[in-house]
């Protein structure tokens, strides 16, 4: 094989379910020469990263750090650390990532009870209370922002409920962190995992984790070793704390990236960031609705950062997405699992939650829908978005 040519990707606007576009300041940070993974300057950056991560997760949890792998490894890390073989877990399934939790809990040897609601809807507390009463599990896990459906699960009262049953609350915040409120301590979340490539505006590669003192106690009381050595928090934490016990070589450049991403979040301020995501969501939604597109998640439970809309009857999913990508350089997501071919998922996450992205995707989608034979009033999408902006 001849040696492949110089890296030269086409310009893209990443408006799918993630990765989202990386903030230019983060890209610049990633071109910075390395420090050693035990260099005092790097250790200071690790501390800063943890401290910023705590602020962004609104927690004082000591065990808060990004593990050296992507969000799905974060899911596994939480499961294999909290669960020992035979431990009971209730997994709330409202979409694709709920089913992933079931699969991974099973591999951790847990006795899994699965609680389902139709995709696109969310759980109510009474339903969960009933199951907790019956099962009394060690852990209840739930997805905060279900990436496959665009549904926003309310979880602010869930920790209190779980703790009535001495149950640890495990939350998937992969698509919520940095976009909508995630308040660990106030909401009583015991364990959380997220990612870097969505609300934090960094490339994929790390998974921020945080464990409450209660969760840490459960981990420390384990009778068996964590089955994954790489994800064993009893060891990883001693690399991140004052012990600096060598475990593995931290992905230096990715730590540079998340550090810069977190600085950007805190410079903007959490409240302002959440408000920004809402504002651009409302404009996008007004535009999509004006073009005849309906959301797949129930009204009142639609994620601002991930807009899942039903593909109009007779329109071919792939044709539209290919045209968006090839003619306009815009990536949006298709459906996953049950929603394959049924929905498009349009992300406005982190750096990409801005008017320029809203305008581009509405205008380009208008042309694609017209090409597909849909009746769309020309300019209706952008006009509705601008009305929403004016009303904001």
Q: How far apart are CA 121 and CA 242, in angstroms?
A: 44
Q: Name all contacts of 311-316 with Cβ < 8 Å and 24+ positions apart.
A: 311/335, 311/341, 311/342, 311/343, 311/344, 312/369, 312/372, 312/374, 314/372, 314/373, 315/369, 315/372, 315/373, 315/374, 316/372
Residue 225 contacts a second copy per CB under 8 A: yes
Q: What are phi and psi of 90, to 5 degrees?
A: -105, 125
Is residue 246 exposed (0-12), middle (13-18) or buried (19+ Cβ within 10 Å)? exposed
Q: In the set 43, 69, 115, 388, which binds a second copy (CB under 8 A)?
A: 69
Residue 245 contacts a second copy per CB under 8 A: no
Mapping DSSP to helix (H, G, I), strand (E, B) and coil, where does residue 74 land? helix
Residue 230 contacts a second copy per CB under 8 A: yes
Q: In the set 157, 249, 371, 377, which binds a second copy (CB under 8 A)?
A: 249
Per-position x/- string for 108-147, each x denoting binding to a second copy as judged by CB under 8 A, each - no binding: ----------------------------------------
CB of 31 to a second copy, least distance (A): 4
Residue 259 contacts a second copy per CB under 8 A: yes
Residue 347 contacts a second copy per CB under 8 A: no
Number of other CB atoms surrounding residue 351 within 10 Å: 22
Chain residues 202-221 in contact with a second copy, contact rule CB under 8 A: 203-205
Chain residues 6-45 in contact with a second copy, contact rule CB under 8 A: 7, 9-12, 14, 16, 18-19, 21-22, 27-37, 39, 41-42, 45
Total residues at interface with a second copy (CB under 8 A): 75
Q: How far apart are CA 172 and CA 97, in angstroms?
A: 9
Q: Are 193 and 184 in contact (CB under 8 A)?
A: no
Residue 350 contacts a second copy per CB under 8 A: no
Residue 60 contacts a second copy per CB under 8 A: no
Q: 252-268 and 270-290 are packed helices; what angle lies between their axes, rounded to 10 degrees?
A: 90
Q: How far apart are CA 174 and CA 195, in angstroms?
A: 5
Q: How far apart are CA 13 and CA 360, in angstroms?
A: 9
Q: How far apart are CA 374 and CA 367, in angstroms?
A: 10
Q: In the set 156, 229, 272, 319, which binds a second copy (CB under 8 A)?
A: 229
CB of 351 to a second copy, least distance (A): 11
CB of 43 to a second copy, least distance (A): 12
CB of 153 to a second copy, least distance (A): 21
Chain residues 278-297 in contact with a second copy, contact rule CB under 8 A: none
Residue 193 contacts a second copy per CB under 8 A: no
Separation of CA 91 from chain center: 18
Per-position x/- string for 148-187, each x denoting binding to a second copy as judged by CB under 8 A, each - no binding: ----------------------------------------
How big is the chain, counted in residues? 392
Judged by CB under 8 A, the stretch of 122-130, 165-173, 175-183, 256-264 that binds a second copy is 256-264
Nearer to a second copy, 1 or 390 (CB): 1
Chain residues 311-340 in contact with a second copy, contact rule CB under 8 A: 325, 331, 336
Nearer to a second copy, 113 or 196 (CB): 196
């Amino acid at each position: 094989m001849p040696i492949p040519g110089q890296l030269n990707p086409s310009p893209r606007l990443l408006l799918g379910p993630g990765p989202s576009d990386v903030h230019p300041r983060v890209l610049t940070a990633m071109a910075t020469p390395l420090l050693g993974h035990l260099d005092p300057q790097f250790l200071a950056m690790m501390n800063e990263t943890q401290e910023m991560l705590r602020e962004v997760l609104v927690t004082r949890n000591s065990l808060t750090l990004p593990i050296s792998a992507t969000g799905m490894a974060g899911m596994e890390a939480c499961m294999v650390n909290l669960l020992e073989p035979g431990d009971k877990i209730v997994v709330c399934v409202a979409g694709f990532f709920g089913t992933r939790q079931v699969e991974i809990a099973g591999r951790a040897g847990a006795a899994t009870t699965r609680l389902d609601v139709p995709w696109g809807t969310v759980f109510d507390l009474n339903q969960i209370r009933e199951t907790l009463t019956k099962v009394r599990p060690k852990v209840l896990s739930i997805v905060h922002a279900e990436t496959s459906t665009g549904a926003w699960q309310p979880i602010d009262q869930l920790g209190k409920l779980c703790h009535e049953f001495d149950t640890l609350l495990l939350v998937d915040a992969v698509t919520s962190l940095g976009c909508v409120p995630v308040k660990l301590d106030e909401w009583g979340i015991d364990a959380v995992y997220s990612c870097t490539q969505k609300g934090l505006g960094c490339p994929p590669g790390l998974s921020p984790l945080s464990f409450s003192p209660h969760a840490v106690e459960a981990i420390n009381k384990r009778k068996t070793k964590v089955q994954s050595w790489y994800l064993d928090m009893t060891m990883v934490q001693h690399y991140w704390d004052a012990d600096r016990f060598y475990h593995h070589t931290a992905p230096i450049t990715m730590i540079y990236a998340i550090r810069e991403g977190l600085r950007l979040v805190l410079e903007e301020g959490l409240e302002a960031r959440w408000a920004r995501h809402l504002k651009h969501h409302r404009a996008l939604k007004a535009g999509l609705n004006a073009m005849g597109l309906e959301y797949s998640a129930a009204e009142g439970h639609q994620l601002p950062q991930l807009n899942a809309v039903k593909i109009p009857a007779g329109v071919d999913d792939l044709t539209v997405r290919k045209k968006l990508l090839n003619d306009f350089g815009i990536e949006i997501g298709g459906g996953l699992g049950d929603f394959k071919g049924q929905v498009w998922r349009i992300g406005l996450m982190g750096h990409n939650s801005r008017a320029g992205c809203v305008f581009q995707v509405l205008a380009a989608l208008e042309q694609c829908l017209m090409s597909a034979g849909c009746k769309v009033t020309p300019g209706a999408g952008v006009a509705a978005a601008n009305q929403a902006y004016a009303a904001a």
